[in-house]
Structures are given as C-alpha cells and as structure tokens.
Amino acid sequence: MKPAPFRYVRPQTREEGLEALARYGEDAKVLAGGQSLVPLMNLRLARPKVLVDINRIPALGILERRDGELVLGALVRHRQLEGDPRVWEACPILSRAAACIGYPAIRNRGTVGGSLAHADPAAELGCVLLATGAVVVLESSRGRREVRIEDLFVGPYTTCIRPDELLVEVRIPAWREGTRWGFAEFTRHEGGFALALAACVVHLDGEGKVTSARVAVGGVSPLPVRLPEAEKSLRGAGLSKEGIAQAAACALSLEDYDDVHAPAWHRRQLGRWLLLQALQQAAGGGS
Amino acid sequence: MRDRISIALQVNGKPYRLEVEPRRLLADVLRRDLGFTGVHLGCEHGVCGACTVLLDGELVRSCLMFAVQADGCEILTVEGLNASGDLHPIQRAFIEEFGFQCGFCTPGMILAAYRLLQERPRPSAEEIRRALAGNLCRCTGYADILRSVQRAAVLLAEAEETRAP
Ligand SMILES: Cc1cc2nc3c(=O)[nH]c(=O)nc-3n(C[C@H](O)[C@H](O)[C@H](O)COP(=O)(O)OP(=O)(O)OC[C@H]3O[C@@H](n4cnc5c(N)ncnc54)[C@H](O)[C@@H]3O)c2cc1C
Ligand code: FES
Ligand code: FES
C-alpha cells in the first residue's frame, strides 16, 4: 500500500516550524526520522493531512554539554548517540541503549525526539532517560514548557505533547563521580524490538552507600515506568546481593500488560530478570 | 492537495531533476521514475531491508523516506557499484560463494555489506551478522551470504594491493 496524499511543508527555522503546527493544528504531524510514522502511513494506519518535516531545522540538531547537562536536540539521531564521545562521557548508558535500537539503517534516520514522541512502551530511549532523570523541552507558538520525562508518557504510544507542540530538546544531568549504571534487554532476534528492558543509574558515596537510585523498566507495563519501591529498597540495602534481588522483585508488582507477543506474567518475570542483570552490572562498577 | 514538488537528486553519480508528489516514497521514485529496479520493495515498513540504499553515504530504508526529503542528496543504489561495467568485488564474491538464490534480498545485502566493509575492512563473523541482521532473506541463504561477505573482504583487500604501487 502507499501513503494517502498529504501536504508537505519544510520549515527552515524553529519559528517557521511552530507556526506551521499552530496553523494546521490536529491535521498536521511532525516528520522527524520517519522510522515509525512512515510505516504507519504506508499501511494507512495514519493519514495526516499535512506533514511538517523538521529535518532541515539546524537548531534541532544540537548536541552539547551545557552547565553540567548534556543537551540533545530533537533531531539527534540514534547513530549519533551510539558513537559520539561526548555522550559516552556524559551519559554512557544512553550510547549503550541507542546501539540496541533496530538496525544501522534505522539508527541513521531515527531521532531522539521521534522516539520519545512515538512513546513505544518498549523503546530503549524512553526507559533509559527515565533512569537518568531527563527533562524534555516542549515549544509551541504559545510558549515553552519543560516536563520531567516521567510526566511525558501517558500511556502506550501516548504522551502529553499537544498537537501544536514541538519537542525541541532533551536535557540530561551529566554524571558525577560515583555514578554506576546498568542496562539489559531481551529481544527475540538481533536488533529486534525489545520485549522488555531495564535500566538503572545509582550514585554511591565514598563508603559505597547508595545516595540515590533511579530504576526504570520498559515493555512490562503499558508505558515505561520508574520503580520507586525498588529505588527505596536500594537506598536502604545498597548494591549487595540481597539488596539487588529485593529491588528486582519489585518488577513483579507492575501493572498488567499483554499483547500478541507475550502475556503479562511473562513480561513481569522478564522485567525482574532484566533488572537483576542491570543492577548486577551497576554493582560490578558500570557495564 | 495533489501538489507536485521539484527536486534534484544525484543517483549513482548522475544528476536528475524531477517533479514528484510529496507522498511518493524514495524507493518508488528510484524504481519507477528513474528505472533503478535494483531497489526492491518487500515489506514497505522498514523490516526487510530489500529497499536499502546509501543516502549521502549512509544506509537508509528508501521505503521509509519520501523522495522530497532526499532533495539535494546523493544516492547510491546497487546499480552504482558496477557503473564502470565491471562487477564490483562484493558482487563477484556473492556469485562465487552462492550468496543469492532468488536474488530479491541481494541488493540490500550487498549495500549493507558495502557500508560495513568501508568501516571495517576485515570484519569478524559476528560483526557481519550484526551488520546484516536488518536484511531478511526469504530464501534463508544466510550461511552463504556470510561467506560471500567474508570473501568480498578478501577480494577488496586484493584489489587494494594491486592498485598500490
Ligand atoms: C525495522 C524497525 C525496527 C525498529 N526497532 C526499534 C527498536 O528496537 N527500538 C526502538 O526504540 N525503536 C525502534 N524502531 C523505531 C525507531 O527507533 C524510530 O526512530 C523512532 O521510534 C521514531 O523516531 P523517528 O525520528 O523516526 O520519528 P518519526 O517516525 O518521524 O515520528 C514518530 C512520531 O513522533 C512524532 N514526532 C517526531 N518528532 C517529533 C518532535 N520533535 N516533536 C513532536 N512530535 C514529534 C511524529 O509526529 C510521529 O507521530 C524501529 C523502527 C523500524 C522501522
Ligand atoms: S521494503 Fe523497505 S525495508 Fe522492506
Ligand atoms: S536470495 Fe531470495 S530472498 Fe534472499
């Protein structure tokens, strides 16, 4: 099948892009990497009347360290996250996770903004950014707002981004001394979509005590989620063998989610097992 | 609604100017309007890799891009590899090692191998598997394809040597 006709606009600046979204409202869709939107259009599951192609807006492609943060423009491609030394240095879990997204041809086009806006429950970036405490910047011609990544996701394939809003950048606190991390996912074949995945970022003080922990799981619930219970138990018990097992078991109490690929009980067991692996990596000093 | 947009493409080293409806996929424009029938369409949703081409030197799925997005870009299709008339060493390797049966997946496999060998002239078997994981072969000739890419690495190294003084 082929996409239904649409009107194509290609803004050159952020302002032009926001203007187009304001003008066409619900009729318009942003086109970023196209790796999720175009398949839907090819199958005619999506029939936007207007496509606003943001690929020629240079300001959306920034990747920089700024005031202790790593700032990623919406158009930063998965391939850049995978290979850029600044990302490896400031937030290695992001590079590690990006390398697991689909295949090289997909990573060359797919973008940070597109992955977050598409909000697949098992997408790598959503889950990992939950563990890093990222903030997402949304802009419209009405103004600008910043939302915590945990407030971005509302349900499967659903976010709080309004039709006239553009996700312009993601800001991630750069890592400090004593940061440990882990990432694990289960796929049925090389490069395939994860059935479930887990990520953790843990800070240890000089004595090896956990001062803060962020733990996230994807693919187990209808949206990627943080596990506050697991984080609490890590702060108490630390990265000991028992502490890790106790924290990982929190994945078993997640909300039901099943689809054709796996029933809920299987996803929860996978979540526990993957979280165990991610936490073991963190305990071992990184990954 | 049915507006047409004028675009310029450089395909396999030759410039083209054409008018396209925005909804036309890059794959269809390459195949139908420009006659590069080595661009195969299997799934049209990014899964099979048969439509893979190089866009400004990087692998992309031409079924997941609109031709208007490629305006001003340089494209390499499998036809571009033997533009001089001789088979490219990777093409020869696929023939020598029986790397294809029906040939449907072959253009995508060859271009993915081409890009891999540019980055890593002597890839390990594992690296080859990873690089080609996004290309499906419905004849399931994967073992021969893997051998073909290994052979291609050798042929390319030899070609490199004979060129050196
Ligand atoms: C074969 C295949 C395998 C894949 N495997 C994986 C995988 O393993 N893991 C994974 O996470 N993903 C995977 N993907 C999806 C891929 O990573 C996409 O890149 C990503 O989900 C969407 O990003 P995009 O830039 O391509 O967005 P697009 O497809 O352009 O857009 C997706 C949605 O987001 C909206 N949007 C895009 N950018 C913005 C913005 N800046 N502001 C507001 N809205 C915006 C669009 O309007 C659209 O609704 C796969 C895709 C394919 C085809
Ligand atoms: S036709 Fe493009 S990936 Fe299958
Ligand atoms: S040779 Fe037939 S699809 Fe691969």
Helix (H), strand (E) counts: chain A: 12, 14
How many whole angstroms from A267 Cα to the centroid of ligand 1? 23
- Token pair listed for A28: 């318009």
Instruction: Give the CA dihedral B61, A29, A138, A63, nearest 10 degrees.
Output: 20
Q: Do A38 and B28 touch (CB under 8 A)?
A: no
Q: Do A105 and B60 touch (CB under 8 A)?
A: yes
In this structure, how many other beta carbons lie within 10 angstroms of the beta carbon of residue B104? 18
Residue A287 is predicted with a pLDDT of 46
> CA A252 from chain center: how many Å?
22
Q: Find out whether the beta carbon of A124 lies less than 6 Å from any atom of ligand 1.
A: yes
- pLDDT (tens digit per residue) in B70-118: 999 999 999 999 988 899 999 999 999 999 999 999 999 999 999 999 9
Q: Do A7 and B22 touch (CB under 8 A)?
A: yes
> Which backbone phi and psi does A148 adopt, to 5 degrees?
-70, 145
Residue A285 is predicted with a pLDDT of 67
- pLDDT (tens digit per residue) in A34-73: 999 999 999 999 999 999 999 999 999 999 999 899 999 9
Task: Please state the atom number of ligand 3 nearest to the C-alpha of residue B139.
Answer: 2
B136 contact residues in A (CB cutoff 8 A):
none
A193 contact residues in B (CB cutoff 8 A):
none
Residue A255 is predicted with a pLDDT of 86
Q: Do B112 and A105 touch (CB under 8 A)?
A: yes
Distance CA A227, CA B137 (A): 41
Residue B84 is predicted with a pLDDT of 86
- pLDDT (tens digit per residue) in A97-152: 999 999 999 999 999 999 999 999 999 999 999 999 999 999 999 999 999 999 99
Residue A123 is predicted with a pLDDT of 97
Strand order in the sheet with A69-73: A63-66, A69-73, A166-173, A135-140, A143-148
Is B48 buried (19+), middle (13-18) or exposed (0-12) by CB count in 10 A? buried
Nearest residue on chain A to B109, alpha-carbon basis: A105
Is B129 buried (19+), middle (13-18) or exposed (0-12) by CB count in 10 A? middle
B115 contact residues in A (CB cutoff 8 A):
104
Considering only CB atoms, A108 lies closest to which of B44, B49, B60, namely: B60
Instruction: Please give the single-letter amino acid code of residue A173.
Output: P
pLDDT higher than threshold 60 for residue A286 = no
Q: Do B69 and A53 touch (CB under 8 A)?
A: yes
Ligand closest in space to the Cα of A161: 1
How many whole angstroms from B48 Cα to the centroid of ligand 2? 5
Q: Do A51 and B5 touch (CB under 8 A)?
A: no
Q: What DSSP state is assigned to residue B29? A: I
pLDDT higher than threshold 70 for residue B1 = no
B25 touches A: beta carbon within 8 Å? yes
Smallest Cα distance from B164 to chain A, Å: 31
Residue A196 is predicted with a pLDDT of 96
Provide residues of A within 8 Å CB-CB of chain B: 1-8, 10, 31, 34-35, 38-39, 42-43, 51, 53, 55, 79, 102-106, 108-109, 189-191
Helix axes A241-249, A228-237, angle to 10 degrees: 170
Residue A21 is predicted with a pLDDT of 98
